[in-house]
C-alpha cells in the first residue's frame, strides 16, 4: 500500500494543482462579478501570468533548458485558457440553478 501511495502521489498533486487553478479562476470571476467566456479567459491569463512570475521568482532558471521552458510555458498557457473558457462559460449557471431549486 505504501508503494502505491508513492507511485500515485505526483499524479494526485498534479490533479490538485489543476483544481486549485480552476478554483482560483472561479473565485476571481466571482469577486469581480464577471461572467462569460471572454472574462474567464482574461482572468485565467492574468492568473497564469501571476503564477508563472511567482514560480520563476522562486525557482529561477538554473539548469532549465530554453526549449523545455518554452514547452512548459505554452502547454500551461493553453491549459489555462481552456480552464478560463470553461469556468467563464459556467460561471453563475450552476449556482443559480441550485438556488432556484430551493
CB distance 23 to 68 below 8 Å: no
Tally helices (H) and strands (E) across the chain. Answer: 4, 0
- pLDDT digits over 36-47, tens only? 899 999 999 999
**Is 73 a domain residue?**
yes
Q: Is the pTM of this model over 0.95?
A: no
**Is 3 a domain residue?**
no
In three-state secondary structure terms, 4 is helix
**Is 49 a domain residue?**
yes
Total domains present in the chain: 1
In this predicted structure, what is the pLDDT of residue 83? 94
Range of the domain at 51: 21-101
Amino acid at each position: 500500500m505504501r508503494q502505491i501511495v508513492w507511485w500515485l502521489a505526483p499524479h494526485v498533486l498534479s490533479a490538485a494543482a489543476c483544481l486549485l487553478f480552476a478554483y482560483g479562476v472561479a473565485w476571481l470571476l466571482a469577486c469581480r462579478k464577471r461572467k462569460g467566456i471572454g472574462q474567464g479567459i482574461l482572468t485565467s491569463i492574468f492568473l497564469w501570468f501571476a503564477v508563472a512570475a511567482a514560480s520563476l521568482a522562486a525557482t529561477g532558471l538554473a539548469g532549465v533548458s530554453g526549449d523545455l521552458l518554452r514547452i512548459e510555458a505554452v502547454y500551461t498557457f493553453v491549459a489555462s485558457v481552456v480552464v478560463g473558457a470553461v469556468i467563464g462559460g459556467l460561471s453563475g449557471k450552476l449556482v443559480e440553478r441550485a438556488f432556484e431549486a430551493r
